[in-house]
């Protein structure tokens, strides 16, 4: 679904303004903010970098704790560790696979206590500072009760919206109304090759994000620094690609939705296959269409189906290992985890790229039918 990509990238090259100083960086930021419905967006060179800086903006410090969805790609958990803070994993709920708000509430009520104006985890004695709900696979978390809980207990919410650009929560665009992070990695709805953004209504936080992502330089001319900053800002040549893709975001999203509808119709009746759920509060972006396989009814499990599809030249893939099982984050506290583990065992993500042809998609559907009972 090509638009002005070649034209804008060429403009970036021929004007030689390829770096972060080029005009596409700020133009892309305006596009993002306008689309999401936030006052500011600060473009970074990855979603992971956006999360790292957003946690710093949220005031997370070494040895603090941050609640994070157990079922997620590893990046937000790594970002917590970059600061020297500690993740506490919160299980997923079984219906829509998102952060389980009841588990979170239970933990905050039962296992934490107010102390010195903050909240302390009774079992570790550490301050609990923030929560990262991950809007997983293009589907929004139930963000209102998460925000209410966070406000009640004095936590800052950093939304990981990297997989869910374009999704709506109760009619509002994901990414608005707080501190939210996006990704423009190669497999995302809009890509800059690699990239991300921090989105917020808070001008001061946004200015601070620009400062931190550009090596925290304190003087426009002299190389004076009072803080350790990062080289995290998105170069203009990448933003040029993103600006062109953003012009077609509605079409890109429509393509995802059509793909999701066809999968739901084509796979809905197969015994043992559950199509991707949609919560009453959600209009998902359908980033990565994912099914669940019940081996007792389908006759093979998700991994056997994955191998079967591979034998037909169709790529599918498992979703992310639940974080409480990750060796990289061994020994961290987890609130539950059984639900996430079960979903991950049963889940399989299907081809979902923008522009996937109906013919190719039909081949996926037919193969899943064929391998079934």
By CB under 6 A, name the one of 5, 27, 47, 55 that touches ligand PLP: 47
C-alpha span between 336 and 270 (Å, rounded) = 31
List 185, 213, 302, 316, residue binding ligand PLP (CB under 6 A): 185
Residue 367 is a binding residue for ligand PLP (CB under 6 A): no
Q: Compute the half-sphere exposure of residue 75: CA atoms within 13 Å on the CB side of its CA.
A: 23
Q: Is 46 in the site for ligand PLP (CB under 6 A)?
A: yes
CA 14-20-22 angle, 5° bins = 40
Asked if residue 134 binds ligand PLP (CB under 6 A), the reply is yes
Considering only residues 162, 176, 349, 367, which one is a binding residue for ligand PLP as defined by CB under 6 A? Answer: 162
Q: Which stretch binds ligand PLP (CB under 6 A): 42-50, 115-123, 144-152, 328-336?
A: 42-50
User: Which of 74, 249 has the CB closer to ligand PLP?
Assistant: 74
Q: Which is nearer to ligand PLP, 47 or 272 (CB)?
A: 47
* Cα four-point dihedral sign 18, 159, 341, 289: negative
Q: Is there binding between residue 200 and ligand PLP (CB under 6 A)?
A: no
Shorter beta-carbon distance to ligand PLP: residue 213 or 367: 213
Q: How far is the CB of 162 from ligand PLP (least distance, A)?
A: 4
CB of 183 to ligand PLP, least distance (A): 3
Does 159 engage in binding with ligand PLP (CB under 6 A)? no
Nearer to ligand PLP, 127 or 135 (CB): 135
> HSE (CB half, 13 Å, CA atoms) of 332?
32
- Write down the least CB distance from residue 38 to ligand PLP, Å: 18
- Which of 5, 31, 159, 163 is close enough to bind ligand PLP by CB under 6 A? 163
Of 85 and 267, which CB lies nearer to ligand PLP in the complex structure? 85
Q: Please, which residue, 337 or 372, has the CB nearer to ligand PLP?
A: 337
d(CA 259, CA 109): 41
Residue 293 bridge partners (DSSP): 273
Site for ligand PLP in 275-314 (CB under 6 A): none
Identity of the residue, 163 or 346, whose beta carbon is nearer to ligand PLP in the bound complex: 163
Query: What is the smallest separation between the CB atom of 186 and ligand PLP, expressed in angstroms?
Result: 9
Residues 61-80 that bind ligand PLP (CB under 6 A): 72-73, 75-76
Q: In three state form, how does the secondary structure of 168-193 look?
A: EECCEECCCCCEEEEECCCCCCCCCC
Q: Is 183 in the site for ligand PLP (CB under 6 A)?
A: yes
Task: Give contact residues for ligand PLP (rule: CB under 6 A).
Answer: 46-48, 72-73, 75-76, 134, 160, 162-163, 183, 185, 196
């Amino acid at each position: 679904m090509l638009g002005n990509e070649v034209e804008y990238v060429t403009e970036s090259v021929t004007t030689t303004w390829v770096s972060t100083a080029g005009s596409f960086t700020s133009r892309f930021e305006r596009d993002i903010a306008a689309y999401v419905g936030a006052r500011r967006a600060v473009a970074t060179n990855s979603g992971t970098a956006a999360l790292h800086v957003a946690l710093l903006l949220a005031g997370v410090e070494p040895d603090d704790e941050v609640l994070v969805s157990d079922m997620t790609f590893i990046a937000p958990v790594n970002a917590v560790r970059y600061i020297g803070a500690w993740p506490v994993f919160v299980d997923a709920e079984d219906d829509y696979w998102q952060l389980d708000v009841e588990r979170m509430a239970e933990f905050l009520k039962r296992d934490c206590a107010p102390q010195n104006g903050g909240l302390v985890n009774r079992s570790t004695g550490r301050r609990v500072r923030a929560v990262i709900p991950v809007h997983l696979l293009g589907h929004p978390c139930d963000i209102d009760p998460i925000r209410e809980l966070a406000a009640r207990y004095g936590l800052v919410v950093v939304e990981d919206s990297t997989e869910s650009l374009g999704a709506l929560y109760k009619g509002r665009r994901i990414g608005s109304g707080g501190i939210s992070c996006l990704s423009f990695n190669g497999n995302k709805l809009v890509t800059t090759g690699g990239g991300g953004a921090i989105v917020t209504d808070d001008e001061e936080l946004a200015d601070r994000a620009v400062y931190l992502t550009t090596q925290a330089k304190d003087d426009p001319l002299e190389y004076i620094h009072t803080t350790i900053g990062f080289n995290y800002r998105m170069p203009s040549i990448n933003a040029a690609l993103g600006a062109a893709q953003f012009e077609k975001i509605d079409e890109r999203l429509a393509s995802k939705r059509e793909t999701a509808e066809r999968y739901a119709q084509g796979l809905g009746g197969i015994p043992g296959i559950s199509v991707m759920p949609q919560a009453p509060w959600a209009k998902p972006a359908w980033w990565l269409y994912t099914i669940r396989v019940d081996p007792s009814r389908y006759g093979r499990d998700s991994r056997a189906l994955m191998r079967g599809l591979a034998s037909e030249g169709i790529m599918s893939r498992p979703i992310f290992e639940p974080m409480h099982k990750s060796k990289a984050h061994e020994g961290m506290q987890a609130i539950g985890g059984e639900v996430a583990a079960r979903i991950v065992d049963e889940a399989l993500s299907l081809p979902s790229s923008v522009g996937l042809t109906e013919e190719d998609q039909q081949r996926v559907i037919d193969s899943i039918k064929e391998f079934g009972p």
